[in-house]
Chains A and B, each alone.
Chain A
């Protein structure tokens, strides 16, 4: 009797996973897609998006990072901006811009080249790339650089962010980034934001890289002048082109700080320009259709903040997540099976109540873990499994198990003869 109970619990757990697998495979074949706009909307959503978007407690601003918007300034203008900022001795200037090829405006090119050359600590972006003949999607064998006339004084670092986009112009959701990556030739490349952080505090950057994670989750802090696109639209110093030209800022905000030259729209607060703009988990609208909320430069600023403040996010490996899911589902099925056998009349009511408690309680645990310990628990599969478990187990006992037993089949045929 006791052994049979445990066998049923194990088989019931397997059945729920099989049921999920069945639904999953049907979804994989796009069978339900035509009538599943909700599933489509949720397809690119993680539970922590809700945390960042709606539940994150207002973080404090970071005074160690200054963003400078280059707007639509030509290269000569960017040179003037660089000179205006670098004279106040920032710890590092990161330029989140590519300067491909010399332009017809030779004077502008020369001005920019010299201005970049005058910056004491300069980090200039490059891009991890794959050559045409490289058929391995996991291998990066080359780097895309600005024209060499602009790079001679710069420390290189890659600006690639982890998104689902195939090209820069696609809609992009950015939750994670790659802190360092080894090229096919064995050369180690470091991310733009981590490299900038290393100029400010090399120990903290080393400590971050020493975690050894191939991918890191970005612990977002906030945005700059975003008109409500996120709840935290004001977390970094931000200077517009005009501010720098007219000296409309206090120089002490620059000294010994991380300064990022980047594109933040034609002017600060530009909501109509989507060049280099991303969706982030901070987006006020966390599911379905929304506008991108954050420029790439601000994402780099968030990563710099995370590294310098050691606000890392810890997350479970796939194996750990699956183990946790299996164990918790097993216990749920055990309780439900006991109720099914001992309190059959109460089964529907009690299991539904337990399901509701778990479906509210598990997200609470996920939020709690994230908020207090910065641990990202991805238990979405467990939530789906629990949602299916009550009725699924009834199907298991009522249909699967009965159809496999002689008495069950006999009972069914007896009814059909009536």
Chain B
């Protein structure tokens, strides 16, 4: 019974298992980058741009901060497992884009294994499953090397 791996949201990341990346947009007027994607109005107050091109964000960054969920969040969060298992959340700073992006941390890595400043890389992971699909979302994990 093979479930289909489906992105939990369309257009926010390249769902390439080998080389995933977050997808943002860049304003063609002023070059500002947005994640999640901005498609309508450039949020730079000095720019009236309405045209954006898709960009892939850096897939590696430094851990800006971290925490965890010891209790299951309320709906619309769906726990991938019952009973709920605590998981960590990371805020990772991307150097080129000069922005911080949140993401769940891969299972098996808890707050005790994390340290501010450590290098992190983007992977894909399971958000939750139903009968037909395994919903996939971006996650962070400590980078190798």
User: Is chain B found bound to chain A in the same assembly?
Assistant: no
